[in-house]
Structure 1
Amino acid sequence: MAKYILFGSYCENALEKRTPYRQAHLEGLAKQKEEGILVTLGPTKDNTKVFGIYEADSQETVENLVKSDPYWQNGIWTEYEVKEWIQAF
């Protein structure tokens, strides 16, 4: 399977605004991790950007996971970009 990276941005006051969606978001990520699709995902320390690494059949698969995430659907993530990644080391 190919590897993909996700870069994205959070809305302002994301820590506060994410509260109603956080549990569903974490449960979805845990399922992706369990299925072997999600390698890692998390925010930058200043909570303005999100970064993730996925192993998937296609970029479309990763984009569909992002689009179905409660953070995307409720405006916590405000933009994202997915790129195929070549792991050199």
Structure 2
Amino acid sequence: MAKYILFGSYCDNALEKRTPYRQAHLEGLGKQKEAGILITLGPTKDNTKVFGIYEAETEEIVKNLVESDPYWRNNIWTDYEIKEWIQAF
């Protein structure tokens, strides 16, 4: 399976604005991790960017996961880019 990286941005005041959606966000990520699709995901220390690594059959699968996340649906994540990644080592 291919690996994909996610780069994205958070809205202003994301720490406050994410509160109502955080539990559902974390539960969804947990399910993705259990299924072996999500390798890792998290914010930068300044909480302005999000970075993730996925392993999936297609980029479309990753896109659907991102766009169904409560953070995307509620504008906590404001943009994102997915790129297929070649793990050199």
Structure 1 vs Structure 2 CA RMSD = 0.2
| CA distances 1:11-66 after superposition (whole Å, capped 9, x unpaired) | 00000000000000000000000000000000000000000000000000000000
In structure 2, the gaps of 5 or more residues are none
TM-score, length basis structure 2: 1.00
TM-score (norm 1): 1.00
Runs (5+) with no aligned partner, structure 1: none
Moved over 4 A (4+): none
The alignment partner of 1:20 has SS state of: helix
How far did 1:10 drift?
0.0
The sequence identity of aligned pairs, in percent, is 84
Whole-angstrom distance in 2 between the partners of 1:16 and 1:40? 23
Equivalences, count: 89
Distance in structure 1 (CA, Å) of the matches to 2:6 and 2:48: 14
- Between the aligned partners of 1:21 and 1:79, the Cα distance in structure 2 is 17
